[in-house]
Amino acid sequence: MAAVTCCAAGLADLSWAQRPIRPNNPMLDTPASQAKVDSLIDSMLLPEATLHVDPRHSKLVRTKKPVSRFSITNPGNLEVVQFSPTEFELIGLATGETTLTLWFAEDELLRFLVKISRDTDVEERRQSVYGDLQEMVNEMFPNSSIQLIPMADKLIVRGQARDSEEAAQILSVLSAQAGIGVGGMGGAGVVSSGMAADVYPDAEQLPPSRLINLMDVPGEKQVMLRVRVAELSRNALRNMGFDINVNTGDFSFTSLLGSGGAFSAVLDTNDVRLALSAISSNSYSKILAEPNLVTLSGRPASFIAGGEFAVPIVVGVEGAAAATTNFRGFGTQVTFVPTVIDKDRIRLQVAPSVSGLSGGSVGGIPSLNTRAVTTTVDLREGQWLAIAGLIQDSQTGEKVRVPGLGDIPVLDALFSKKNVSRDERELIILVSPELIHPLDAEEAPLILPGMEVTEPGDWQFFVYGNYEGNPNCHHRSTVYNLQFRRSLAAKHHTDYSTSSTYFVNGDHGFSP
C-alpha cells in the first residue's frame, strides 16, 4: 500500500513538472492590454538612417532646421557637442553601436543608428601602402628580406637583415617614409645611420603607427670590450726659507716667512735666533685599470669597481627644509654600446672613466680627480685604438720676501722664502672589441683568482710568522677544533674496526 502511494506521489510530481509555467502578468498580450496600448501609444519609431564614425575621430553635422534637443542611448560610445542650433559634432569614443535622436521644430524628430568602427577603406589603403613599401625596401636592400605586418596601430617588421648596419638603414627608411616611431623588440636597439629618403606618398593620411623591429641579424652578437687605462703622475717640490728673531736690548726684530711672510718688530729682551727651513720631495702615482665587459650587440652595458661617499642635500618639503643624502660613486667605470656592423667590424659607443679621492674637501664633502672620455669609434675584432690621451706638464714657482731687505742681493736669502714645484702627468685610454661565445664546461678555467690563497695554520702563524698559508693546505680556524676531534675519532674508529675484524669472526657490533 505504501509503494502504491509513493508511485502516485511521483506521478503527481511528474505531471506538475510538465505543466507550462504561467506568466507572472496575466494581462500581458491580452486583447484588453493591446487595446490600452493602441489608445495611448501613437507610434514607435525605429532608427531611420545609419551613420559611421571612426574611433577617436569626429564628424561635423550641419542641419537645415534648428535642433532643440538630442538624446544618446550609450554616451560611452558617442559624444555630441552642439555649437549652435544648426551645427554639432559627433565624436567616436569606443567601438560599438548607439542610437542618436534629434528633435527639430514643430515636433519633428530624426533617429540614427550610429556605428563606431574602424573605416575599412583606411585599412585597405594601409595594407596596400605598406605592401608597396615592403616591395620598395626589399628592392633597395636585395641582401635582406623583410615583411611588413600592420596590426592595429603597430607595424611589425619581420625577416632577416644582412648585418646590423643594413638593419639600421632599413629601420631608418621605414620610420621616415611611414612617418612612424621605432619601438624595440627582439633585435631592436641597433644604431641608425645614413639619411632616409623622402616621406612615402600619402603616408601622412594614414593612422600613426609604432614600428616594432623583429628582424634577425645572423652571426655572433656577443661582444666583449677590453679597456686599458694607464696613468703615471710624478711630482717634485723644493722649498727653502729663513725665520729670523733678533733681540738686542729693548729692540726686537722678527721675520717669520715660513708662516706666510709675516713681519713684526717689538721691544723685548735681547736674543738672536735664526731658523732655516728647507725641503725637497719627490712622489709618483701609477694607475693601471683593465676592466672587461660583455653584452649583446645593440644593448648597453655598464661596469663599476670602486666606492661611494655620501653627499648631503637640503630639499624643501611642504615649505620646510629637509635633509636627504645622495651617494656619489668613484673608481673605474665603463659604459658602452656595441653594434656589429659587418662580420668583424664593430661600432662602439664607449664612455670609460677613472676617478679617485683627491684628498681635498669642500664643506666636508670629498673632491675627486676624474679622467673620463665619451666617444664613438669603428674597430675590427681584436684591434686596439687609443681613444684618449693626455700629456700634462705644469710648473709653479713662488717667492715670498720682506720688502726692501728681500730685494738686496745675497741678503735676500735671509729675508725670503722660495718654493718650486713641478707636476708631470701621462694618461692613455685604449679599447679593443672582441666577438665571443660562451665556454663549454670543459673549457672553463679550473683555477680562479684567489683560489690559491689559504689561511695559515697555528704552527705557520705563531712560529714562522706567516700570514698566508700554503696553497695546498686548507686550514679553517673557525672549525679547527671540531675537525681535530673528528679526525681523532675517525682514527680511533678505524683502529677499532681493524682490531674487531681481526679478533672476532662473523657479524659483530651493536644490535639494531
pLDDT at 94 over 50: yes
Say what the pLDDT of residue 255 is.
63
Give the separation between CA 156 and CA 211, rounded to whole angstroms: 6
Which residue type is seen at 251? F
43-116 CATH fold: Immunoglobulin-like (2.60.40)
The angle formed by the CA atoms of residues 160, 162 and 163, to the nearest 5 degrees, is: 110
Q: Stretch 451-476: mean pLDDT, rounded?
A: 85
Give the separation between CA 173 and CA 157, rounded to whole angstroms: 12
Q: How confident is the model at residue 451 (pLDDT cuts 50, 70, 90)?
A: confident
Residue with the bigger pLDDT between 209 and 120: it is 120
The angle formed by the CA atoms of residues 316, 317 and 320, to the nearest 5 degrees, is: 70
Q: How confident is the model at residue 113 (pLDDT cuts 50, 70, 90)?
A: very high
Say what the pLDDT of residue 228 is.
87
Say what the pLDDT of residue 493 is.
64
pLDDT tens-place string over residues 173-232: 887 775 554 444 333 333 333 333 333 344 444 444 578 888 887 766 789 999 888 888
Say what the pLDDT of residue 181 is.
46
**Sole residue written with cell 484588453:** 32
* Exposure class string for 161-190: b at 16+ Cβ within 10 A, else e: bbbbbbbbbbbbbbbbbbebebbeeebbbb
Burial category of 322 from C-beta neighbours within 10 Å (exposed 0-12, middle 13-18, buried 19 and up): exposed
The structure's pTM equals: 0.49
Give yes or no for a contact between 180 and 209, defined as CB atoms under 8 angstroms apart: yes
CA-to-CA dists, residue 233 to 413, 424, 425, angstroms: 32, 6, 4
Mean pLDDT, the chain, rounded, equals 76
The domain locations on the chain are 43-116, 120-218, 237-279, 285-313+322-435, 450-512
pLDDT tens-place string over residues 257-288: 554 443 444 434 456 666 666 777 888 888 78
Residue 430, C-alpha cell as written in the block: 685604449
